[in-house]
Amino acid sequence: MDASINAMMAQHSSKGTLQSGGTLQAAIRIFGVHSSTAVSQTLDEAGKLIDHRGAAWGEAMDAISTAIDDHMSRAPTLLERPLKIAARLQNEGIRRRLEELLSEQGDELRHKVAEFRDGFTAPIPTAWKDRHPTWHTILIGLIGAVLGSLATKGIENTWEHYFGANNAVSAQGVANQPRDLPVKTH
């Protein structure tokens, strides 16, 4: 950032506009571009390192938001040279404009983190089954065994209810039924 600000100040000096409000605005634009790039890189790394949206995700996003707040509070120190030049103007309008521009920069950075936190610009998280394939296989097997056991027990109970021991049809089939059915005669 310092190199960009120095280049801009050299350009403004050569044009004779170094002590103008434009120098301060350009410095804040440079600050915003570098800050935005740093936040984007940090968010990209967080997205790569944290592959789910649980507590670790929230803590990382909170830490990034806190870092942005700290960064924005240090903006006057980071922009010290252009601020000193602009301070020579002693203009209340420039001071207000500086506060507005820095506030806008901070809001943009916070908005970027909020969108990323909510998943609008974050990479798609890795599914639990892909992060824990062994546990996924074990759980699917257990769930299948439990459901199979419940289904078998349910079929046995249903069979017993409808075709129980007191009923004419049993599990052995109709072959064991008594053959003393009345014969119809005309």
Q: Per-residue pLDDT for 18 more than 60?
A: yes
- How far apart CA 27 and CA 1 sit, in angstroms, is 9
The verdict on 76 and 26 lying in the same domain is: yes
83 shares its domain with 151:
no
Residue 39: per-residue pLDDT? 93
Over residues 24-64, the pLDDT tens digits come to: 888 888 999 999 999 999 988 888 888 777 788 889 999 99
Residues 140 and 87 in one domain: no
Average pLDDT of span 168-184: 53
Residues 30, 103 within the same domain: yes
At 118 the pLDDT is 82
Alpha carbon 173 to its chain centroid, in Å, reads 60
Residue 77 lies in a domain: yes
pLDDT at 182: 59
Q: Are residues 103 and 158 in the same domain?
A: no
**Residues, the chain:** 186
Indicate if the pLDDT at residue 170 is higher than 90.
no
Angle at 95 between CA 92 and CA 96, to 5 degrees: 90
Query: Do 55 and 25 form a contact (C-beta atoms < 8 A)?
Result: no
pLDDT for 89: 59
* For the chain, percent of residues with pLDDT exceeding 90: 22
Task: Report yes or no: 72 and 106 within 8 Å, Cβ to Cβ.
Answer: yes
Whether 47 and 29 share a structural domain = yes
pLDDT of 107 higher than 90 = yes
**Measuring CA to CA, which residue among 163, 145, 143, 144 is closest to residue 155?**
163
Q: Does residue 169 form part of some domain?
A: yes
Residue 125 has a CB neighbour count (10 Å cut-off) of: 16
* Residues 113, 94: Cα–Cα separation, whole Å: 29
Q: How far apart are CA 185 and CA 126, in angstroms?
A: 77
Contacts of 94 (CB under 8 A, 6+ apart): 21, 24, 86
Which domain, by its residues, includes 163? 133-176
**Taking 70 as the threshold, does the pLDDT of residue 72 lie above it?**
yes
Q: Verify that 36 and 118 share a domain, yes or no.
A: yes
Pairwise CA distance, residues 70 & 84, whole Å: 21
Count of domains in the chain? Answer: 2
30 and 116 belong to one structural domain: yes
The reply to whether 55 and 12 lie within a common domain is: yes
The answer to whether residues 9 and 66 belong to one domain is yes
Q: Is residue 182 part of a domain?
A: no
Q: Is residue 36 part of a domain?
A: yes
Are residues 15 and 71 both part of a single domain? yes
Q: State whether 121 and 167 are in the same domain.
A: no
